Chains A and B, each alone.
Chain A
Amino acid sequence: MKIIEVENLKKNFNDFTAVDGVNFYINQGEIFGFLGPNGAGKTTTINMLTGMAKITAGKVKLMGEDYTGNANKAQAMMGIVPDESNLYEELSGWENLVFCGALYGMKKMLREERATQLLKEFGLEEAASKSFKAYSKGMKRKLAIAAGIIHQPEILFLDEPTTGIDVAFARQIRNLIVDLHSNGTTIFLTTHYIEEAERLCERLAFIVQGKIVREGTVEEMMKEIQEENIVNFTLGKDFTLADDFTKIEEEFRSHFPNFNLKMVKNSGVSIHSPSTFTLFPFVQFFEVRGFPVFEAKIIRPSLEEVFVKVTGIELQKMQSEQNQKGKKGQKGGGSRL
Chain B
Amino acid sequence: MKTWIAFSSILMKDMRSYYLKPPNISWGLIFPIAWTLMFFLRSPVAVEVRDLLPGVMALSILFGTTSMLAVTITFERKSRSFERLLLAPISLNLLMLAKTSGAIMFGVVNAFVPVVFASFLTNLSGINWLMILGSVVLIAITSTFLGLFIAVSVSQVFEAQTFSNFFRFPMLFLCGLFIPLADLPSFLRPVSYALPLTYGADILKTAINQNGVIPVPLSFVALLFFSVFLFAYSIYNVNRKWIL
A102 is an interface residue with CB less than 8 A from chain B: yes
Residues of A within 8 A of B13 (CB): 88, 91, 99
Residues of B within 8 A of A73 (CB): 89
Interface centre among A52, A78, A82, A105 (most CB of B within 10 A): A105
Residues of B within 8 A of A90 (CB): 17
A89-B79 contact in complex given A105-B1, A105-B2, C-beta closer than 8 Å:
yes
* Alpha-carbon separation in the docked complex, A89 to B79 (Å): 9
A105-B80 contact in complex given A72-B89, A75-B88, A90-B17, C-beta closer than 8 Å:
no
In chain A, residues 77-126, which have Cβ atoms closer than 8 Å to a Cβ of chain B? Answer: 78, 80, 82, 84-91, 99-100, 102-107
A103 B243 Cβ-Cβ under 8 A: no
Residues of A within 8 A of B88 (CB): 75, 103-104
A76 B89 Cβ-Cβ under 8 A: yes
A105 B3 Cβ-Cβ under 8 A: yes
* Alpha-carbon separation in the docked complex, A72 to B6 (Å): 13
Residue of A nearest to B240 (CB): A54
B179 is an interface residue with CB less than 8 A from chain A: no
A152 is an interface residue with CB less than 8 A from chain B: no
Q: How far is the CB of B194 from chain A (nearest CB, A)?
A: 33
Residues of A within 8 A of B6 (CB): 102-105
A322 is an interface residue with CB less than 8 A from chain B: no
A75 B87 Cβ-Cβ under 8 A: yes
A21 is an interface residue with CB less than 8 A from chain B: no
Residue of B nearest to A133 (CB): B79
Interface centre among A53, A54, A88, A103 (most CB of B within 10 A): A103
Residues of A within 8 A of B90 (CB): 72, 103
Inter-chain contact count A-B, CB under 8 Å?
75
In chain A, residues 150-181, which have Cβ atoms closer than 8 Å to a Cβ of chain B? Answer: none
A82 B3 Cβ-Cβ under 8 A: no
A13 is an interface residue with CB less than 8 A from chain B: yes
In chain B, residues 1-57, which have Cβ atoms closer than 8 Å to a Cβ of chain A? Answer: 1-3, 5-6, 8-10, 13, 17
Q: How far is the CB of B27 from chain A (nearest CB, A)?
A: 18
A87 B87 Cβ-Cβ under 8 A: no
Contact string against A for B residues 86-116, beta-carbon threshold 8 Å, 1 for contact and 0 otherwise = 1111110000000000000000000000000
Residues of B within 8 A of A86 (CB): 79-81, 83-84
* Alpha-carbon separation in the docked complex, A94 to B83 (Å): 19
How many residues of A are in contact with the other chain, CB < 8 A?
A: 32
* Alpha-carbon separation in the docked complex, A100 to B83 (Å): 12
A319 is an interface residue with CB less than 8 A from chain B: no
A52 B2 Cβ-Cβ under 8 A: no
A13-B244 contact in complex given A72-B91, A103-B6, C-beta closer than 8 Å:
yes
Residues of B within 8 A of A50 (CB): 87
* Alpha-carbon separation in the docked complex, A74 to B10 (Å): 20
Residue of B nearest to A51 (CB): B87
Q: Looking at chain B, what size class is its interface with the partner chain?
A: 20 to 34
B86 A52 Cβ-Cβ under 8 A: yes
- In terms of DSSP, what is the predominant structure of the interface of chain A? loop
* Alpha-carbon separation in the docked complex, A232 to B80 (Å): 50
Q: How far is the CB of B242 from chain A (nearest CB, A)?
A: 9
A82 B17 Cβ-Cβ under 8 A: no
B85 is an interface residue with CB less than 8 A from chain A: yes
Residues of B within 8 A of A51 (CB): 86-87, 243
B2 A104 Cβ-Cβ under 8 A: yes
Interface centre among B1, B79, B83, B84 (most CB of A within 10 A): B84
B89 A100 Cβ-Cβ under 8 A: no
B5 A107 Cβ-Cβ under 8 A: yes
Q: How far is the CB of A277 from chain B (nearest CB, A)?
A: 51
Contact string against B for A residues 32-76, beta-carbon threshold 8 Å, 1 for contact and 0 otherwise = 000000000000000100111110000000000000000011111
* Alpha-carbon separation in the docked complex, A76 to B5 (Å): 14
Which of B5, B10, B87, B91 contacts A80 (CB under 8 A)? B87
Residues of A within 8 A of B86 (CB): 51-52
A103-B244 contact in complex given A72-B90, A73-B89, A76-B89, C-beta closer than 8 Å:
no
Q: How far is the CB of B198 from chain A (nearest CB, A)?
A: 37
27 contacts between A and B (CB under 8 A): A52-B86, A52-B87, A52-B243, A52-B244, A72-B89, A78-B87, A82-B80, A86-B79, A86-B83, A86-B84, A88-B79, A88-B81, A89-B79, A99-B13, A100-B84, A102-B6, A103-B10, A103-B84, A104-B6, A104-B88, A104-B89, A105-B2, A105-B3, A105-B6, A105-B89, A106-B5, A147-B84
| Besides A87-B81, A90-B17, A103-B89, 6 other A-B contacts (C-beta < 8 A) | A50-B87, A51-B87, A80-B87, A88-B13, A103-B84, A105-B89
- Taking beta carbons and an 8 Å cutoff, which residues of A are in contact with B? 13, 47, 50-54, 72-76, 78, 80, 82, 84-91, 99-100, 102-107, 147
Report the 10 A-B pairs with minimum CB-CB distance, sorted nearest first: A105-B2, A102-B9, A103-B88, A76-B89, A75-B89, A86-B80, A86-B84, A86-B83, A105-B5, A72-B89
